[in-house]
Every structure is written in structure tokens, then in C-alpha cells.
């Protein structure tokens, strides 16, 4: 099937779903169920819809530049369709302008925007004229505002980035938020190895390569149609896990026979990693307060055929009260805390628009409570790793520093902050290893 109006229509439907509260990946999955698309179509729909979601602010700026009605006053369905057209014109190289116009106008004609198809045509034609004559929207000279428009981020986020890392790194991080995320896999070494898995993928015409510095990570170069249909998935030969997240479980140096608590465990990428690293021969207690997410954890454990992970639904902050026998019980504790997720913005295109400072404040309260209430569950010679997929210092290094300053018997052994960067393919991540002095 040629890439035509149906792929644009599906992309537009994804934008509608996201604006009604769906996460981008849920919206994509739901919409794709209604179409019979091949791998190339899916890659196109993903790029177009996720690109429009990431670049919402930039596309609104352009909408105001080409239309008499400002974007806030456009009917939402029209606003999203204009974004579909504009993103192709401004950010996708290989599509002739004429094809963008005809297919996008066709979406209007085939849906309840029928009465506005002439308007869509006129506005997008105006956009083409302005692009061809290099008549671009004016953007302020202020560096923070420029990054906010060009990289399409809320102004408050750019201000935060600049206060954390300075303007130069903030710009690099902002650019990294708009790149296509990698698909990394962690090999289940209990069942296979790097060489055999690469061979299996190659036999199935899936292009993949080893990830430098990780002895059991590989990254896909092909665009798979559906992750779950890739060879070795059902057999539990691998788990999807970003390369930055893959170095967290090894920080605990997990060993056979140890008692390990994974306090915020679902959907289980780190619990299963811990089980694999201990030869499926440790006592791993995986806790989460979300029943729905624990179901996914259960299915991952079953698929990987791991036996040593016990699941418990609980609020981890209440564990010392719920299970007093857990005090000083664990050799290792992992708190992979709920966080603002700023390190994974490129993977979750909508999250930059739904996050706000109040949410971060609430998360910091919870993170502090998790750390304070769970540390006493550690044995005197144990190790606790606290990790997040964010780059906000108050959720990471500053939180750990305050905790240690208040507890003179605890020391920081190691910490690392990975910042998202345009040249680094993984997510932003933080981890700290702490223990008794």
C-alpha cells in the first residue's frame, strides 16, 4: 500500500486521542488496531504523530504565522490536522509538498472536517508559499524563549534545564528530547547469549547490533512492526530495556541466595534483571502499588520463566508498618522511584505537556518518604540503590545529599547522572548507591 491519506488520517486520530488524555503509546496502539498497516506505514504513522506531539508548540507558532485565526481559537480537530500538514512540510524531508497537501486535505474530506477541507487547503498552501519564500515566524532573541519555541518545550522546563546545567547543555538536552528513541534489548543470559541472539535476529532479517559497554545489551536498527512478534520474545530470550536503565540492577552487585527488595517494581525490567543476575536463585520481593502494572510484571516473569521473584501489592512507604519482620532483613534494596521522567521525554512525546512543577513537588515528597521508610529494611552490610529516569537534581543528587546529611550513619558509595544528549542514544537516568558507614 502506498503511503497516502489513510496513514495521515491514523496519525491525526492519534493526536485526537492524546488531546483527550491518552498517553502517546496507548493512542498509537489503539488507533493502529483499526488499520492493516505494514512496517513502513507504522514507522511513518509513528514518526508523524509522535513528531506532531513533540513539536506542538513549534507547530502552533507556525499555525499563527499562516492562518488568520490563532491556534487557541481553531477548532481542535482542525488545529491537529494543520499540525499533521505542517509537520510534514517543515520536518519531514522526503515528501513532496504537493503530496502533503493532497493527502492532508483528503483527510479533511473523508472525516467530519469535510466542510473545512477548502480552509485546510488554503492554509497549507499559504504555509508552502511562506516556506518557499523563507518567510518564517519571528522568534524572540532571548535564548531561553528561542529554545522553548524551536525545540518545542514549555518555557518553565527550559528555565529549569538552564538552571540545572547552563544554557549550552540545556540546548543539547532539549534537542535530545526530540530525537527518535532507540529500541534496546537486554539479553536473558539464562537462556541465550549475545552471539546467538544476534544470529537469530539476523536469520529473521532484523538488523541489530551489540551496545558498547553493556555485555548483554543490543539495539535494534530495523523498525519492528510489533515488538511482541519479534523472534525470541515469547520464549523469553530478551526484555525491552533502555541501555541507561540496564546499568541500574548491576549496581546492587546482586548475588545468589540474597534477599532483595525491589520496592517500585512494575513493570519489572529491573526485578527480572536482578533475577537473571542471581541465576534465578535469590529471594526477590517485587512490590508495587499499582495492580494494573503488577499484571504486566507477572506476565514478564512468566514469559522469562523466572521463579525467584515474589510479587506483593503494597504501598512501599508503609512496608515497615505492614511487615515489621522486614526491618534489617534485606541484603539489597532497589528504589526505582516514581519520578518526573524528564530523562525519557523523547520516548514519551506527550509528557512534556502534562508535567508541571506541582507534580514534581509531590513526587519529591514521595521519593523522600520511600527513602526514609525503606532504608531501615536494609541489613547493616547491605546496599541500597536509588534510581530515577529524570535529570531534575531535587529528585536525584540533592535528594540523596539531604538524606545523607540527615543520617550520619549512612554514606554515598557512588552516583551517576546520565544527561540526555543529542549524540547519546539512551535515556537520561540517575542512580546512587548508599550504605551504612
Ligand X SMILES: C[S@@+](CC[C@H](N)C(=O)[O-])C[C@H]1O[C@@H](n2cnc3c(N)ncnc32)[C@H](O)[C@@H]1O
Is the CB of 71 or the CB of 329 nearer to ligand X? 329
Q: How far is the CB of 339 from ligand X (least distance, A)?
A: 6
188 binds ligand X (CB under 6 A): no
One of 51, 236, 338, 428 touching ligand X (CB under 6 A): 338
C-alpha distances (whole Å) from 166 to each of 85, 132, 147, 220, 258 are 35, 35, 13, 33, 43
Which residue of the set 264, 308, 389, 392 is catalytic?
Answer: 389
Could you say which of 111, 279, 290, 421 contacts ligand X (CB under 6 A)? 290
Q: Residue 335 in contact with residue 264, Cβ under 8 Å?
A: yes
Cell output for 316: 512501599
Min separation Cβ 148 and ligand X, Å:
27
By beta-carbon proximity to ligand X, the closer residue of 123 and 261 is 261
x/- binding map, residues 305-324, to ligand X, per CB under 6 A? Answer: ----------xxx-------
Provide long-range contacts, Cβ within 8 A and 24+ apart, for 249-253.
Answer: 249/273, 249/274, 249/277, 249/334, 250/277, 251/385, 251/387, 251/414, 251/431, 251/433, 252/332, 252/334, 252/383, 252/385, 252/433, 253/332, 253/383
Which residue's CB atom is positioned nearest to ligand X?
Answer: 264
Nearer to ligand X, 162 or 266 (CB): 266
The size of the interface with ligand X (CB under 6 A), counted in residues, is 17
Among residues 91, 289, 298, 372, the one that binds ligand X under rule CB under 6 A: 289
- Window 217 to 246, contacts with ligand X (CB under 6 A): none
When the beta carbons of 338 and 420 are compared against ligand X, the nearer one is 338
Q: How far apart are CA 200 and CA 202, in angstroms?
A: 5
Report 257-276 residues binding ligand X (CB under 6 A): 264-270
Shortest distance (Å) from residue 160 CB to ligand X: 20
Tell whether residue 288 is a contact of ligand X (CB under 6 A).
yes
Would residue 264 show up in a list of annotated catalytic residues for this protein? no
What is the closest distance, in whole angstroms, from the C-beta atom of residue 236 to ligand X in the complex?
16
Segment interacting with ligand X, rule: CB under 6 A, options 127-135, 195-203, 283-291, 395-403: 283-291
Q: What angle do CA 424, 146, 53 make, to 5 degrees?
A: 65
| Cα dihedral sign, 175-177-178-184 | positive
Would you tell me which residues interact with ligand X (CB under 6 A)? 264-270, 287-290, 293, 315-317, 336, 338
Which amino acids are annotated catalytic?
389
Amino acid at each position: 500500500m502506498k503511503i497516502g491519506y489513510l496513514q495521515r488520517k491514523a496519525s491525526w486520530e492519534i493526536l485526537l486521542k492524546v488531546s483527550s488524555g491518552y498517553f502517546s503509546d496507548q493512542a498509537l496502539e489503539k488507533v493502529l488496531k483499526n488499520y492493516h498497516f505494514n512496517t513502513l506505514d507504522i514507522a511513518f504513522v509513528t514518526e508523524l504523530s509522535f513528531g506532531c506531539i513533540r513539536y506542538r508548540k513549534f507547530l502552533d507558532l507556525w499555525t499563527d504565522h499562516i492562518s488568520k485565526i490563532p491556534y487557541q481559537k481553531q477548532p481542535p480537530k482542525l488545529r491537529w490536522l494543520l499540525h499533521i500538514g505542517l509537520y510534514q512540510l517543515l520536518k519531514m524531508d522526503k515528501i513532496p509538498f504537493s503530496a502533503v497537501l493532497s493527502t492532508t486535505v483528503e483527510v479533511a474530506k473523508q472525516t467530519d472536517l469535510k466542510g473545512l477541507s477548502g480552509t485546510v487547503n488554503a492554509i497549507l498552501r499559504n504555509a508552502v508559499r511562506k516556506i518557499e519564500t523563507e518567510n518564517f515566524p519571528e522568534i524572540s532573541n532571548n535564548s531561553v524563549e528561542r529554545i522553548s519555541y524551536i525545540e518545542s518545550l514549555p518555557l518553565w522546563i527550559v528555565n529549569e534545564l538552564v538552571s540545572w546545567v547552563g544554557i549550552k547543555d540545556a540546548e543539547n538536552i532539549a534537542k535530545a528530547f526530540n530525537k527518535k528513541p532507540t529500541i534496546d534489548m537486554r539479553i536473558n543470559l539464562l537462556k541465550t547469549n549475545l552471539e546467538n541472539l544476534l544470529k537469530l535476529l539476523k536469520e529473521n532479517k532484523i538488523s541489530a547490533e551489540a551496545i558498547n559497554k553493556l555485555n548483554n545489551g543490543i539495539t535494534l536498527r530495523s523498525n519492528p512492526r510489533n515488538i511482541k512478534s519479534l523472534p525470541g520474545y515469547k520464549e523469553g530470550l530478551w526484555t525491552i530495556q533502555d541501555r541507561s536503565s540496564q546499568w541500574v540492577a548491576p549496581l546492587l552487585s546482586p548475588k545468589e541466595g540474597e534477599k532483595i527488595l525491589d520496592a517500585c517494581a512494575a513493570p519489572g525490567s529491573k526485578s527480572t534483571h536482578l533475577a537473571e543476575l542471581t541465576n534465578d536463585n535469590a529471594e526477590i520481593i517485587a512490590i508495587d502499588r499499582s495492580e494494573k502494572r503488577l499484571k504486566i510484571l507477572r506476565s514478564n516473569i512468566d514469559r522469562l520463566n523466572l521463579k525467584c521473584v515474589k510479587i506483593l501489592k503494597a504501598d512501599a512507604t508503609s512496608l515497615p508498618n505492614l511487615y515489621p519482620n522486614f526491618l534489617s532483613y534485606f541484603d539489597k534494596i532497589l528504589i526505582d522511584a516514581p519520578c518526573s521522567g524528564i530523562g525519557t521525554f523523547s520516548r514519551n512525546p506527550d509528557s512534556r505537556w502534562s508535567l508541571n512543577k506541582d507534580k514534581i513537588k509531590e513526587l519529591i515528597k514521595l521519593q523522600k518518604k520511600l527513602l526514609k521508610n525503606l532504608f531501615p529494611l536494609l541489613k547493616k552490610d547491605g546496599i541500597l540503590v536509588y534510581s530515577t529516569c529524570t535529570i531534575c537534581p531535587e529528585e536525584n543528587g540533592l535528594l540523596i545529599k539531604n538524606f545523607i546529611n540527615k543520617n550520619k550513619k549512612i554514606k554515598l558509595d557512588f552516583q551517576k547522572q546520565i544527561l540526555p544528549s543529542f549524540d547519546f542514544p539512551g535515556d537520561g537516568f540517575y542512580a546512587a548507591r548508599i550504605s551504612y558507614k
